[in-house]
Amino acid sequence: MRQIDETSADVVRLTDVRKTYGGKRTSVVALDGVSISFGRATFTAVMGPSGSGKSTFLHCAAGLDRPTGGTVVVADQDLAELSEVELTRLRRERIGFVFQAFNLLPALTVQDNVTLPLRLAGRRAKPELVRRVIEQVGLGDRRRHLPGELSGGQQQRVAIARALVARPAVIFADEPTGALDTRTARDVLGLLRDAVDRAGQTVVMVTHDPVATSYADRVVFLADGRLVGELADPTAAGVAERMTNLGAWAEHEPAGVR
């Protein structure tokens, strides 16, 4: 793989990305020409009604799925030029993931869950860095606990530490607060915000929640597979209003009902 250019301002760039599912008669256009860039040390929220293409967008941008057309560049790598093995390596080394379901391994301690992606990538986890990241998410005294011994919010903190420890070029978060109560959700969003402000991390977060978007620098709106607008420095009220104008709430389904 080519060496990554750390000086490039855009960490992720999508150009005219299209994704079509199904065959000729039953084809669904999930992404219909999406172009957008995510700069280093920025926090962007992606919003849209159910079925607007948010998951497809995240999967294509993160190299979990290949688009039907257009280009996706992550950390200066054109994903279309990579073999499956190279793509897996890029995902492991340069991309962090935080999902609604925390996806921790129940038999591993907090510390071992956090270092797992590094070990899978054949990298040594520097004990000092691991300790710092676990402390950063407020779990310094839970290092040796199992996920089952932690609350939902604490488990999501482990997932965030796991995403941060590899110092990825970008973290993709898919409804990271979907399974959390309001207060815990705010703590988790604050952690992502801190990672951007203090560590220069880049975060792209798909969410249904206008309050969650207020932690981002920018929110972009998807409708019917297209980007239909954006707001800088979003407020929950401003975003809720824009979603109402998009007709989003009328189509909104509870998280998990797809």
**Residues near ligand ADP (CB under 6 A):** 21-22, 28, 30, 48, 50-56, 258
CB of 54 to ligand ADP, least distance (A): 3
User: CA 196 → CA 95, 189, 199, distances in Å?
Assistant: 15, 11, 6
CB of 37 to ligand ADP, least distance (A): 20
Residue closer to ligand ADP by CB (options 165, 219) is 219
Residue closer to ligand ADP by CB (options 46, 130) is 46
CA pair distance 74, 78, nearest whole angstrom:
7
Residue closer to ligand ADP by CB (options 200, 256) is 256
Identify the CA nearest to 224 among candidates 51, 28, 27.
51
- Residue owning tokens 């309050």: 211
Radius of gyration of the chain from Cα atoms?
18
CB of 65 to ligand ADP, least distance (A): 9
Residue closer to ligand ADP by CB (options 93, 209) is 209
CA pair distance 38, 51, nearest whole angstrom:
23
CB of 198 to ligand ADP, least distance (A): 30
CA pair distance 132, 251, nearest whole angstrom:
43
Residue closer to ligand ADP by CB (options 28, 237) is 28
Q: Which residues contact 95 (CB under 8 A, 6 or more apart)?
A: 62, 63, 74, 168, 169, 170, 171, 172
CB of 10 to ligand ADP, least distance (A): 23
